[in-house]
Amino acid sequence: QITNTLKVMAVGLSQIISTQMEVSRIEHLRQMADKAEMRALQSKINPHFLFNALNAISSSIRLNQDTARQLIINLSRYLRYNLELNDELIDIRKELHQIQDYIAIEQARFGNKLTVIYDIDDDIAVRIPSLLIQPLVENAIV
């Protein structure tokens, strides 16, 4: 009787462990898929944006070299930020600086048609996935 009871308990425990291992494996696969999706999103730099940014810089070179110089700095920081991305959370301030570079380039293109007002709490200290805010800003401008 005891041997049979132990056998039933061992089978039950084995099933619980197998189920836990399967749940853990599925969770790991889901995390890997999420990371792959995030990397795919992060790797996309809109070619139209790059083309338009270079055109804005080209136009600025003739009109105002200081503006052109600043746009080149904005674009290089923007591109560097996108190339250095990883799967980790980043400080929201870093994301906001990248967005400010993006907006500066777009303002050079749109001139007075694009006005941006920043209302950012000085004490903000949040970590977010990189490029979380960027698509929202991009869609708001385009």
Which position has the higher pLDDT, 88 or 141?
A: 141
Note the pLDDT of residue 43: 56
Task: Give residue-wise pLDDT tens across range 23-79.
Answer: 888 888 888 777 767 666 655 667 778 888 999 999 899 889 999 999 999 999 998
Write out the two tokens for 37. 């999706």
DSSP secondary structure code for residue 119 in this structure = -
**127 by DSSP, 3-state: which?**
strand
Which position has the higher pLDDT, 56 or 142?
A: 56
Task: Give residue-wise pLDDT tens across range 96-125.
Answer: 999 999 999 999 989 889 999 989 898 988
Query: Alpha-carbon distance 122 to 50, whole Å?
Result: 31
Short-list 124, 132, 136, 131, CA closest to 93: 124
